């Protein structure tokens, strides 16, 4: 699977590096939209968008179509594309027919009629996880192109729910919704020295080929730097695994790692339930996504779409991730809105790894290493007994 994992992961890492790292995001949800726009734009926006995608512009439409199909074919993942346009946008049928298969609808220009329709699509395509379409409908919204991505996996080895009083760090004094499990898989813990400092990654395996990697850096390391440094490690041979750490005895210098007496070697993983929601305004980092030119100027940038001069006016992503004792689910709706230019604008040692302060996570397709979601946890759930205030997948 995906021949485009490297390009998608590169976009994800660039986004994480330029962001503050807070919340959750999906580069895999944004990448196909940028690819469609790159193929559809003229210069210089065409080159800027292609640079963000990491492919020649002429290859971008086929790549968008292929990636969406590949992701949708993954077990536990649903991917969809939607296009809505006002009649006044005069969208060329040949351009629309070139797009990846998806939902095609009409905009009236009346927000009262259009917004509920867009919101319903977001809910249906994400199984209710995203309730609002991130782009705002109205008379100025001539065309919007969107992707929806939803992921769900159940842990191969479930956690135990338990209250977790935290003694040190920024969460000191809190009684968190703790999750704990002990397994024999010490290789699920891996460590590496990176440009962001020492990192600890722990893989939590799902039952359908999807994994979540929990990522912990030094207390003073920036969230965006930690996650951006973790992405290229997924396919790297440079990491040291837990078995080697136990053999060497060099555990204490790695974030969150310690040892405890046990009857047999193993890995004790302690973390917390979390629900993270984000709404990203992509135009705030337009240069990262190749959107600076196509979102500005007094002329249209997409002659392939139709004769009406259009520029990008809105670009947002709504995303959510939920980590529980039984599994993980996440969803993102990414939308780009275009407007006309003329409109206003004991016998041995076992390892212990504790995620008891802010940490990151990466949801990854195991075989290809494609990062589907990435995020940072700085506000974990407080403890409530299971079934009272929790929503496991």
Q: What is the CATH number of domain 156-273+325-330+343-377?
A: 2.30.39.10
Model confidence at 273, in pLDDT bands (50, 70, 90)? very high
Q: What is the mean pLDDT of residues 184-192?
A: 95
Give the separation between CA 27 and CA 149, rounded to whole angstroms: 11
- CB atoms < 10 A from the CB of 184, how many? 12
pLDDT tens figures, 37-49: 999 999 999 999 9
Show the tokens assigned to 71.
């992701």
pLDDT of residue 390: 47
Q: Decide whether 4-73+77-151+280-317 matches 156-273+325-330+343-377 in CATH topology.
A: no
pLDDT of residue 344: 46
pLDDT of residue 311: 97
> What CATH architecture is 4-73+77-151+280-317?
2-Layer Sandwich (3.30)
Annotate 207-267 with DSSP letters as a single string. TTSEEEEEEE--TTS-HHHHHHHHGGGGG-S-PEEHHHHHHH---TTSTTEEEEEESS--E
Residue 340 pLDDT exceeds 90: yes
**Domain segments of the chain as ranges:** 4-73+77-151+280-317, 156-273+325-330+343-377
Please state, rounded to an integer, the average pLDDT across all residues of the chain: 93
Show the tokens assigned to 137.
């409908």
Model confidence at 392, in pLDDT bands (50, 70, 90)? very low
pLDDT of residue 385: 72
pLDDT tens figures, 301-328: 999 999 999 999 999 999 999 999 999 9
Query: Which pTM does this prediction carry?
Result: 0.90
Residue 60 pLDDT exceeds 90: yes
Residue 1 pLDDT exceeds 60: no
Residue 284 pLDDT exceeds 80: yes
pLDDT of residue 342: 67
Q: What is the mean pLDDT of residues 281-289?
A: 96
Show the tokens assigned to 46.
């065409």
């Amino acid at each position: 699977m995906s021949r485009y994992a490297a390009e998608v992961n590169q976009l994800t890492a660039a986004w994480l590096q330029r962001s503050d790292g807070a919340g959750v995001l999906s580069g895999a949800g944004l990448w196909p939209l940028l690819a469609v726009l790159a193929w559809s734009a003229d210069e210089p926006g065409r080159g800027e968008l292609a640079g963000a995608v990491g492919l020649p512009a002429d290859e971008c439409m086929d790549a968008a179509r292929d990636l969406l199909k590949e992701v949708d074919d993954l077990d536990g993942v649903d991917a969809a594309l939607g296009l809505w346009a006002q009649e006044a946008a005069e969208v060329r049928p040949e351009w629309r027919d070139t797009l990846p298969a998806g939902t095609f609808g009409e905009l009236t220009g009346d927000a009262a009629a259009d917004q509920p329709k867009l919101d319903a699509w977001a809910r249906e395509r994400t199984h209710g996880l995203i309730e609002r379409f991130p782009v705002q409908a109205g008379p100025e919204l001539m065309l919007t192109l969107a992707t929806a991505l939803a992921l769900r996996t159940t842990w191969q080895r479930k956690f135990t729910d338990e209250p977790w009083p935290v003694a040190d760090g920024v969460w000191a004094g809190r009684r968190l919704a703790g999750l704990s499990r002990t397994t024999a898989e010490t290789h699920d813990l891996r460590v590496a020295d990176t440009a962001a400092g020492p990192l600890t990654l722990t893989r939590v395996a799902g039952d359908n080929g999807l994994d979540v990697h929990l990522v912990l850096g030094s207390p003073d390391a920036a969230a965006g730097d930690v996650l951006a440094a973790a992405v290229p490690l997924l396919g790297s041979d440079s990491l040291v695994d837990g078995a080697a750490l136990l053999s060497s005895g060099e555990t204490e210098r790695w974030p969150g790692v310690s040892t405890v007496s046990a009857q047999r070697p193993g890995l004790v993983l302690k973390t917390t339930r979390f629900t993270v929601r984000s709404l990203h305004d992509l135009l705030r980092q337009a240069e990262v996504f190749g959107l600076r030119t196509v979102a500005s100027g007094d002329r249209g940038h997409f002659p392939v779409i139709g004769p009406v001069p259009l520029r990008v006016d809105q670009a947002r992503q709504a995303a959510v991730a939920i980590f529980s004792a039984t599994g993980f689910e996440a969803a993102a709706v990414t939308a780009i809105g275009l407007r006309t230019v003329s409109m206003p604008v004991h016998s041995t040692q076992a390892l212990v790894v504790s995620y008891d302060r802010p940490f990151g996570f990466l949801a990854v397709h195991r075989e290809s290493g494609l990062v589907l979601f990435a995020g940072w946890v700085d506000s974990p759930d407080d403890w409530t007994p299971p079934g009272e205030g929790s929503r496991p997948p």
